[in-house]
Chain A
């Protein structure tokens, strides 16, 4: 009796562990508040917004068409291969199976990179076709794997019996062998379909500009926080997979239940569905999809500009206006970190025309001769950019030749006025015992060290070993006080009153204040980090003049203001700032701190690979203590 209850509890526990995350996702998809930390009431608006969001719907469509096509083609090739392998002699067969299994065990990143290199070597332009080819490639082994056991089970004599009764080899295969291996072929197809749906890494390396699948799309949103529409989409995907699984599992149980004596009507209906309906629907979807893609792709002629930007870092409306005004079509691709962007640009796999890296990364790109000098004659709107920002840019672009500032911000302390006694103005509060377990630190090397180095009065680009050791000691000392080392959860935790003090980017601070008025942001008096993301043109850009037109367009005050409204990160565009309607924001010291405050701040610089290693080593020591 007790044993029985325990069994049930155990089973319940496992189910909770398995499904709690998904339930959370489903619940959040109905949350009226944009933040994860607060329940703002029930709403279906994200579902509506989802279907209105052209980018997401495009990504969804691309994902589905690639999954379907690659699964279908892989199923064809894989099944044929399995039949061939099955017919081989045993030793050769074992060797072949080993060879086909390797790609499955191989790390995705290796597959992804090697496919990318191959495509580049053969001068394929990365895009829809290369993703498709890559997906077919990694799907084939899964199909072979699921078809082989079925082939082994089938009696070779049934095939011979069919031949014996007068069937041609092809007729015998489709009439006799194929129905026997169909479950294997079908599960191979489903497996391939889901693998393709799931894949991020390989897609990431083989995709070209302007093509996004759901996984790459979601990932590119990481920096700005995933939109609730994505929760809605994920919920819908989960529900469809659930329904599909139920359908697949329910029908065979009635079909193969104990002894099936007579050929039932139902199985005839199922046969009709499998043989006629499913292929017909697939064919229609694929053909329609092909036309859709064909029509979409043919629009983009050579008068284009290929933009590579952070996720959620440009108002989509701006692109539409730009295309209408100039007739240049924009191919838009997103990345999630500087470190992901850099190798893609460096490899030259895709000739991007405009990229938007951060300060230290621009410096590194200049040092590695990856950037083209911008012809400022083509960018008259540069006059709208405040001179102090051009001045700041000199820290990484000494002669202001390569970059045009786009967004900027500071790093500071966000605190909850109700949880903190007196106003905060110093980093020292992060070492104050009173706030033990109420402090949130940034979980990234440079940001964490910047806090400690600045508190100690050093440069945040210090490479002096004594200074770094001192910073390290300070960070270790701080560890017991810290509630958590996090990145973008600072935002949600602070809104949800889960912590009193957090280190945060100014752009996030503005947003958190809107959600929770008790929050206050300050740049500590010891100084901090100021960061600038700027537009640059890679050396291998094919449409340099279009790129300059694009940058010039973004510097137009009304356009810069649209982007400010969309991103909420500070704009260096003085004229745009004047257009901001809300005086509270226009005069916000968070968005636009005094020049005097900025003087205490530094941008990050690229310190060279050796120092990168040093920083990482020290950070590891801190984290492992």
Chain B
């Protein structure tokens, strides 16, 4: 694995009484695509702005390439940012926008022109040199903002919800574009988003944050399949989170029914949360299931059907490619390895908060 490029050590930050980051520790490796994921107000943008140098942290250190850069102003940092609303310079042409950083560095005209052409090609906007930012679509502007940042050959590119303002189709296109860019350029991307799908698609590593704390760090697969707490489970994808009791190793009691599972080491008769993904629930004949319920809602979603099944006073969310009509009595069955057991949050800070997104 590559070296640590950025090390964030015990960083805290608060605005007035509002603690935004609390003793946060995180490292980022070279050539990594790291995503900070979380609901609005979780501190992810603040962390990015501290990295960019636009905010200073109250305590802790930012170590970049082995050096403390706490007091280095933004214009002296070897990283570039792509802003949420692009922040293009509207009174300059596209070429002037891209050349901005290079001119400051005193590069030659020929070098700058080469770079402009190269960068525009990279973002698939050849021939746009003399256009004005206002005449470009949102997606095009975003690509220019990226081009403007990468011509400076930063070691790290910070992206603050860069696709937030784009429509769905464009967003998906841009996701592939960003992955391609990252692979071609070989630089580190630190990406901030509240969109879990975006995070899962692009990242090497996802950092899930909430209320100034890191909830979980891991690969997209880890985060999705093995959420460490109810917040992560709820935030990433859709899931059924159920209060449960760990009867013993490999046996959990959910809604009064014993389910075999694969988790061990929680102790005996300990209250826990059980997470079951909707696509992991099998609807079978009533007599074959561990639980019996009635289908109450049915929606066609394209790839699958979304259903709600009422069983033991709980509305189970179920995804299935097979349609079961409303009113049908069904049995619910879950494979042991599809049940994810999580500890109950101990402090209020760790408590999962309802998320709108």
Query: Which residues of A come within 8 Å of B, CB atoms?
Result: 155, 157-158, 160-169, 171-172, 175-176, 179-180, 259-263
Contacts and interface: CB of A to CB of B under 8 A. Distances in A.
B352 to A, nearest CB: 32
B80 interface: yes
Contacts of B52: 160, 164
A164 B88 CA distance: 12
Given A180-B91, A263-B93, A166 B105 contact: yes
Given A157-B84, A262-B130, A165 B135 contact: no
A263 B134 CA distance: 11
A260 B105 CA distance: 30
Given A161-B148, A261-B135, A263-B93, 17 more contacts: A155-B85, A157-B85, A160-B52, A160-B87, A161-B81, A161-B83, A161-B88, A162-B100, A164-B52, A164-B74, A164-B81, A165-B149, A167-B75, A176-B89, A262-B93, A262-B132, A263-B130
Interface string B87-99: 1111101000000
A158 B73 contact: no
B135 A259 contact: yes
Top 4 A-B residue pairs of the complex, sorted by shortest distance between their CB atoms = A165-B101, A157-B87, A161-B87, A163-B74
B45 to A, nearest CB: 12
A172 B53 CA distance: 15
Interface residues of B, number: 31
Contacts of B91: 179-180
B131 interface: yes
5 contacts: A158-B88, A164-B75, A166-B105, A168-B75, A175-B100
A116 to B, nearest CB: 44
Which of B53, B76, B101 has its CB near the most chain A CB atoms (within 10 A)?
B101
B284 to A, nearest CB: 54
Nearest to A165: B101
A262 B132 CA distance: 6
Contacts of A166: 75-76, 101, 104-105, 152
Given A262-B130, A262-B131, A171 B104 contact: yes
B134 A260 contact: yes
A263 B132 contact: yes
Contacts of A160: 52, 54, 74, 81, 83, 87
Contacts of A163: 53-54, 73-75
Interface in B248-288: none
A55 to B, nearest CB: 46
B148 A165 contact: yes
Interface of B: 52-54, 73-76, 80-81, 83-85, 87-91, 93, 100-101, 104-105, 130-132, 134-135, 145, 148-149, 152
B132 A260 contact: yes
Given A163-B73, A165-B148, A165-B152, A158 B89 contact: yes
A157 B88 CA distance: 9
Contacts, number: 82
B19 to A, nearest CB: 19
A522 B86 CA distance: 85
B134 A259 contact: yes
Contacts of B132: 260-263
A172 B87 CA distance: 13
Which of A160, A164, A166, A168 has its CB near the most chain B CB atoms (within 10 A)?
A164
A70 B230 CA distance: 65
A165 B131 CA distance: 21
Contacts of B130: 262-263
A160 B91 CA distance: 16
A128 to B, nearest CB: 38
A262 B53 CA distance: 34
Given A164-B52, A180-B90, A261-B131, A157 B83 contact: yes
Which of B76, B90, B91 has its CB near the most chain A CB atoms (within 10 A)?
B91
A164 B76 CA distance: 8
Nearest to A182: B91
Contacts of B131: 261-262
B330 to A, nearest CB: 52
A179 B83 CA distance: 20
Given A158-B89, A160-B83, A179-B91, A167 B104 contact: yes
Contacts of B101: 165-167
Nearest to B78: A166
A169 B131 CA distance: 27
A161 B141 CA distance: 14
A32 B131 CA distance: 58
Which of B53, B74, B135, B152 has its CB near the most chain A CB atoms (within 10 A)?
B74
Contacts of B89: 158, 161-162, 175-176, 179
Contacts of B105: 166
Contacts of A167: 75, 100-101, 104
A171 B73 CA distance: 14
A273 to B, nearest CB: 15
A259 B131 CA distance: 11
Contacts of B74: 160, 163-164
A180 B133 CA distance: 14
Contacts of B134: 259-260
Contacts of B148: 161, 165
Nearest to A261: B135
B87 A155 contact: yes
B334 to A, nearest CB: 47
Contacts of A260: 132, 134-135
Contacts of A161: 81, 83, 87-89, 145, 148
A263 B129 CA distance: 10
B293 to A, nearest CB: 51
Nearest to B79: A164
Nearest to A171: B104
A480 B53 CA distance: 82
Contacts of B90: 158, 180
A58 B216 CA distance: 78
Which of B88, B89, B90, B152 has its CB near the most chain A CB atoms (within 10 A)?
B89
B336 to A, nearest CB: 50
Which of A158, A166, A180 has its CB near the most chain B CB atoms (within 10 A)?
A166
Nearest to A176: B89
B299 to A, nearest CB: 39
A39 B202 CA distance: 85
Contacts of A176: 89
Contact of B100 (A155, A165, A261, A263): A165
B52 to A, nearest CB: 6
A160 B74 CA distance: 8
Contacts of A164: 52-53, 74-75, 80-81, 149
Contacts of B81: 160-161, 164
A262 B129 CA distance: 9
A9 B54 CA distance: 59
B229 to A, nearest CB: 34
Contacts of B149: 164-165
Contacts of A180: 90-91
A597 B166 CA distance: 96
Nearest to B100: A165
A163 B131 CA distance: 23
B187 to A, nearest CB: 15
Contacts of B85: 155, 157
Contacts of B83: 157, 160-161
Contacts of B75: 163-169, 172
Nearest to A271: B91
A178 to B, nearest CB: 10
Contacts of B54: 160, 163
A372 B48 CA distance: 78
Nearest to A157: B87
A158 B135 contact: no
Contacts of A165: 75, 80, 100-101, 104, 148-149, 152
A89 to B, nearest CB: 10
B102 to A, nearest CB: 9
A171 B105 CA distance: 13
Contacts of A262: 93, 130-132, 135
